[in-house]
Amino acid sequence: MSSSRSRLDRFVSRKTGMKRGDVRAVLAQGRVYVDGQVANDIAQLIHQFSQVYFDGVVLQGQTPLYVMLNKPAGVVSATKDKDHKTVIDLLHRDDRDQLHISGRLDFNSTGLLLLTNDGYWSRQLSLPDRKIEKVYTVTVAKPLTHDYVDAFAAGMYFEYENITTRPAQLKILSDYVAEVSIQEGRYHQIKRMFGRFQNEVMALHRYRIGAVDLDATLAPGESRDLTRDEVAALAVS
């Protein structure tokens, strides 16, 4: 799924130090395998997750990883932080250092966080044109009114960035709790939108990205790999 691709002859040359002119002979001898098949086309394209073997030795064997985490409050959405525990620190897996975060949550925000080693997949999830909805439960300090629904649906102008937010859906669940759905992720966007009403966000919990819901069986701090269906639901064409 990576956009970074390389011709097979260039790839083998770079990995082995062999001259590109010699790679053709190596391929003719059936000594290179790509994804379990003998490779004989020097122009075959190799991507980030192609499994490549030369004389039985792995030249590239990285597997795509897609993980969901139930982020607790008080944890940084970062791979490293000298002062605070990070979401990577919560993962009990040997391959955790390969992962990066796709769509961060603030320090005290909770809920669904996606991690991956697939940079292309991650970038595509954040593209506004894909219109992938992120859905949150928001608890605020002051009672909600229908004015909020209209203001969120109209979009809000942020002077600092000189942008107007895309229309967002707000559904009032109770006096102090709303469901908010947005298709973008501006800096502290939801908190700033409620800030227009001088209404402080007390809790922010993301429970859905696109068609993928946070697994209700995951306690805060727990994680699991996405299923095939979940990966497919967020797949980039």
Alpha-carbon span 72 to 110, nearest angstrom:
5
Residue of 41, 106, 147, 213 marked catalytic: 106
Among residues 81, 185, 171, 83, the alpha carbon closest in space to that of 132 is found at 185
Alpha-carbon span 69 to 34, nearest angstrom:
32
Alpha-carbon span 44 to 217, nearest angstrom:
43
Place of tokens 């605020």: 140
Among residues 154, 141, 131, 95, the alpha carbon closest in space to that of 211 is found at 131
In whole angstroms, how far apart are CA 126 and each of 90, 129, 132, 197? 24, 9, 8, 27
User: Would you call 106 a catalytic residue per the annotation?
Assistant: yes
Alpha-carbon span 22 to 61, nearest angstrom:
23
- List, by residue number, the catalytic residues: 106
